[in-house]
Chains A and B, each alone.
Chain A
């Protein structure tokens, strides 16, 4: 079966090519068929390959398929090789599956857009790049996918290009992620000179041999790679682009900025886990970044009024959890959370998109409300998604994945009570803002009239995703609660098992605490936003609260900070130097030449007596030289 591997990325790419070249001449039906169909085909092929992979695990633990040698310069010979192991299988599955659903959803969602084919072309290209990213055998090919998804993200954020704000957001996204990518590129250089190759399997086998535990080179490499991951995954300090990226259409937010692309960082780190394992410092930094991000983003999400921005901050925050898990060494937990998060966050975005579409492109949650009965399907699916996001105990998939991370945050080898506490606080905040959003959108009185109701094309994917958001959690259950380890067993082929600290027998207390914090959060939001909204008004009287609110609302002021520290000086410099200061040098030379010409020309006065004087002076000079020398 592994011969079909190449089809997985190539199908979406073919879709892209057809749509890009001939999209103008195709009818909308065909566009949708090609766009969604190609991804769906991939989504069908994946399980086929996946089942083959699981039932007859290859001896090497992976399938790989070399298409051609990309280039060969001396020892540097990256190949275009696809590489499938358990880790990439999970990712490929999520990408194609959710991708297909979102494509189907988009066929309905974008139905009235004039650039229908462009949208699908970009989406297909995105799926292709993302697949390439996770299927890449070497870091260079991975980098290709990495930048490719960046491009598609750019294209899709700025999809509605007439509004310059969208373009600005797209640029911001691209450039900020590019900063991370640049660091990552340097990381690749280091890796190449250390190992003489960029092929991931080779690196992973060579690294423990060549580097000893805690080597500073390992730390540097790991940090450089981390920088790439931080950029793509919108983690501190490069998180500022993601909220703005919501300018794109909702399916885009769902696919790229929630489910897949933003988790590329998680993929990269787990893919290169051996390097991170060699450097405890780097790993700790990963954990700290994750914790800090989830905390900061959580509070920001609390204050947003744009529904998509709430979700965006929640995405940042949830990826923070994944980083936290990676940092403490809970590899499988991170990937598990990634998968679950992909389901429910895609669901939430798609549902939010449906809401927005229904309310005439209204993004402000304070202008929504009372949609519970008007849009029942959306309501229920959104509710399921929110429950999963808020990690509603026992019944939501999010509970299982997040709880695992919280537990590991303390218990795993790299764990730390502080990290755990931040995680717990984050869970609490998550519950608060999720409930807040639910209440404001679906309860209360209707503030905006409903226009367009979502059709089947849109609701079916929602229902499928809702199903997964509820039940996908059961494939991995805590060991005091069924101890079902389907998922981590699978990943154990690739990722190391999470090592617990000594003396950690039970996680029950932790589960109860997590449960309490979630419920407490929900209750708090219930009180403030449903039962006694006047309390909010009261709080708003306080200046401190207002300032804090604004501070959180602006995403902890990071945008402003970067603007004043980096953007403005560079733009100022660029504008000051618009006419190129170096050119002044040459203009100076010209100026001098012309002045010389003018003064010399003055000597050509036309006066014969002056000319003779010149002759005499010449004679004097010659004779003086003879006297003196």
Chain B
């Protein structure tokens, strides 16, 4: 470990250190507010450190990690979403939990895990990053442990995650057995020296796909999604939907790029099937769903399918399209869950679609923000979701993947229906059924709303003028 290594690892070290620091702060019994603020500060510091390390790029820390433009971009997204989740968490947990402080420790750890995924280029770091993320999430999902749903979601996630981790591990073991290395580049190297494709390697890859697919919640490994989204506290759901998936997707992409997995017809075929199934089933499942969190869960399944559409060609445009869409998806999902968080009250989360009735007339700002997020998810122009979808279609069509593009289009029409349903509900009726209650912390409430407004402005700004972001994305190249 040279000095430069430390320097390059600053963000990770900061995240890890923050978790310890927060523990210490808890130990000296500081108030929730102080802890929340200091963790916010630490997130900001970690985020800014990303800008700081850019002159080093790309930087390899053998054999586990690589820090390049792409990983910095993904880390940025992850830390950004954690930051937003952090802001949203205060009012949510302040109302519901008497000791919400460990939450921040776990949040840092999960963020760390996701970031490790984003920078890893080795099975070990992949596995460890994934597990830090997952183990942290077990606790986060079940954080409000007195609620039945939280516990139920927690145990479901735990058993399934461990189960799928086992698949991932077994797959890795098979690949290791075949190639003699766990480093992506070495695997790629030994693959080129092989005459024919070995079944062991493919089996390993397939089993890894099970593990990764579970984390990404793509069909047929999607069934946990809705339950966990529904059961988990709203900010945590936001985190699962964004940071955890972003990290996993990043490492999957890096792995495929490095071993050039796109040449394996069978694997690609599997991925195409998964993508198609995810898009169709994800959207279909939400059609008449009544629970907003579940709707968003199913929609996230579909969105991962969309991401796979851009993933499959494995071209230069794929990287850009993926990066852009991930960003769009992050912003949008955070906004959507942010609204759910803000509207939640002490007893229940605002998950019943009925509770959004007449929201537009009662709280127009929130309704507008939510609408912009939903429209972005639906991919309607003027929002970033549209540009993202356009990008994905472009990436797919550039390499001639007409079928997936077509399925994307058709399934997103189904998707339209349920997004519109929520919007329609917000516009329907005259009177909201959500009780107008005294906010315990009006200041933080305002802060949350401002944060969400900024996000929704981003949604529209990037939707109207995406070239700025696209331009900067050129910079975040893989290696």
- Direct contact between the two chains A and B in their complex (CB within 8 A): yes
Within 8 A of A (CB), among B201-232: 202-203, 206-207, 209-210, 213-214, 219-221, 223-224, 226-227
Q: What's the dominant secondary structure at chain A's contact region?
A: helix
Question: Shortest Cβ distance from A610 into chain B, in angstroms?
Answer: 7
Number of A-B contacts (CB under 8 A): 80
CA distance A615 to B159 in the complex (A): 12
Tell me if A76 counts as interface (CB < 8 A to partner B): no
Q: Which A residues touch B203, using CB under 8 A?
A: 623, 626
Q: Which of A279-287, A555-563, A573-581, A594-602 contacts the other chain?
A: A594-602
Residue of A nearest to B159 (CB): A608
**Is A606's CB under 8 angstroms from B227's CB?**
yes
**Is B269's CB under 8 angstroms from A618's CB?**
no
**Given A618-B210, A625-B270, A629-B266: A600 and B284 interface contact (C-beta under 8 Å):** yes
**Given A615-B220, A618-B220: A608 and B160 interface contact (C-beta under 8 Å):** yes
Tell me if B304 counts as interface (CB < 8 A to partner A): no
Residue of A nearest to B213 (CB): A618
Tell me if B199 counts as interface (CB < 8 A to partner A): yes
CA distance A7 to B400 in the complex (A): 71
Question: Shortest Cβ distance from B157 into chain A, in angstroms?
Answer: 10
Within 8 A of A (CB), among B139-180: 155-156, 159-160, 163-164, 167
**Given A594-B288, A596-B284: A615 and B210 interface contact (C-beta under 8 Å):** yes
CA distance A354 to B278 in the complex (A): 84
CA distance A612 to B220 in the complex (A): 10
Q: Which A residues touch B163, using CB under 8 A?
A: 612, 615
Tell me if A61 counts as interface (CB < 8 A to partner B): no
Q: Which B residues touch A594, using CB under 8 A?
A: 287-288
Tell me if A545 counts as interface (CB < 8 A to partner B): no
CA distance A619 to B207 in the complex (A): 7
**Is A614's CB under 8 angstroms from B223's CB?**
yes
Residue of A nearest to B281 (CB): A600
Question: Shortest Cβ distance from B44 into chain A, in angstroms?
Answer: 38
Q: Which B residues touch A532, using CB under 8 A?
A: none
CA distance A154 to B209 in the complex (A): 76
CA distance A551 to B288 in the complex (A): 64
Q: Which B residues touch A600, using CB under 8 A?
A: 281, 284-285
Tell me if A216 counts as interface (CB < 8 A to partner B): no
CA distance A37 to B265 in the complex (A): 91
Pick the contact of B202: A615, A618, A626 (CB < 8 A): A626
CA distance A623 to B207 in the complex (A): 8
Question: Shortest Cβ distance from B300 into chain A, in angstroms?
Answer: 14
Question: Shortest Cβ distance from A621 into chain B, in angstroms?
Answer: 7
Pick the contact of B269: A597, A598, A617, A625 (CB < 8 A): A625
Question: Shortest Cβ distance from A594 into chain B, in angstroms?
Answer: 7
**Is A629's CB under 8 angstroms from B269's CB?**
yes
Pick the contact of A615: B214, B265, B284 (CB < 8 A): B214
Pick the contact of B167: A604, A608, A619, A625 (CB < 8 A): A619
11 cross-chain CB contacts under 8 A: A600-B284, A604-B227, A611-B156, A611-B224, A612-B159, A614-B220, A615-B220, A618-B213, A623-B206, A625-B270, A629-B266
What 10 A-B pairs have minimum CB-CB distances, sorted nearest first? Answer: A618-B220, A597-B287, A611-B223, A622-B206, A629-B266, A619-B210, A614-B223, A608-B156, A626-B202, A596-B284
Query: Chain B: residues with CB nearer than 8 A to chain A?
Result: 155-156, 159-160, 163-164, 167, 199, 202-203, 206-207, 209-210, 213-214, 219-221, 223-224, 226-227, 265-266, 269-270, 273, 281, 284-285, 287-289, 414
Given contacts A597-B284, A597-B285, A598-B288, 4 further A-B contacts (CB under 8 A): A614-B223, A618-B210, A623-B207, A626-B203
